[in-house]
Homo-oligomer: A and B are copies of this chain.
Amino acid sequence: MGSTAPAAFEARKTPVQARSGVTVDAIHEAAIQVLLSHGPDRLTTTRVATRAGVSVGTLYQYYPHKQALLYAVMERHLNRVVAAVERACGESLGKPIPAMVDAVIQSFVDAKMERADVSRALYAVAAEMNSISLIRHTGERARTALAAMLRTAPGARFERLEETVQMLYAAMAGTTRHVMENGARPEAVGMLRRELRMLAESYLLRSADGRGE
């Protein structure tokens, strides 16, 4: 985990005994809770530690500073989501576009929703991590997987695949974020699933010269 994390954000020490593993998890979870209940600017290391049931000192044993903690939480979440997208893409190679869309949109939304609270909490953090490449890099991975998949769509010929994929991904991420930031109510999620599929499908079919099936 975190093999590509910039030096400044690397974890301080790796859990050896079992209990410390539990502690790290508790800290992660606490960070999310605090993020949600107090907001990003009122997240203090002490608060996180208290919520996790440990002392601040313990927190600093695993993370060199506050930012590193947030980075780790973010990383864990993003990895989960891209992994889901990559899997869906891999399993849809060669299928017609509508099937691809079904698979990808579903797994994407599912991954986000499985820990909707985390997603929601992290959007706020993301802004302050702007300069960091983590997010950029993760998006890159997702787009690569999508492009690889679309290239195998039977009968489809994308004029500018790069751009199409970029747009597709931005639309996916953007609309999902929107729903999240408005509370992710079940009916809103249902509508997201339905409409996002429609949006993606109509856009892709239109972009694919050869009609995509």
Q: Establish whether residues B124 and A130, one from each chain, have CB atoms under 8 Å apart when the complex forms.
A: yes
Residues of chain A from 168 to 198 with CB closer than 8 A to chain B in the complex? 169-171, 173-175, 177-179, 181-182, 191-192, 195-196, 198
Do most interface residues of chain A lie in helix, strand or loop, or is the interface mixed?
helix
Which residues on B sit within 8 Å (CB–CB) of A123? 127
Q: For residue A135, which residue of chain B has the nearest CB? A: B181
Interface membership of A206, Cβ < 8 A? yes
The answer, among B127, B136, B174, for a CB contact under 8 Å with A171, is: B174
Over the window 109-139 of chain A, the binary record of Cβ atoms lying under 8 Å from chain B Cβ atoms (1 yes, 0 no) is: 0000000000000011111101100001000
Tell me the bound Cα distance from A131 to B36 in angstroms. 11
List the B residue with the shortest CB-CB distance to A191: B163
CA distance A205 to B191 in the complex (A): 18
A contact residues, range: 35 or more
Q: Report how many copies the assembly holds.
A: 2
Q: Is the CB of B124 within 8 A of A128?
A: yes
Contact status A167-B207, CB under 8 Å: no
Minimal beta-carbon separation of A197 from chain B (angstroms)? 11
Contact B203 A198 (CB under 8 A): yes
Q: A155-170: which have CB < 8 Å to B?
A: 163-164, 166-167, 169-170
Q: Are A177 and B175 in contact (CB under 8 A)?
A: no
A199 interfacial by beta-carbon distance below 8 Å: yes
A40 interface residue, CB < 8 Å from B?
yes
Name which residue of chain B comes closest to A178, CB basis.
B170
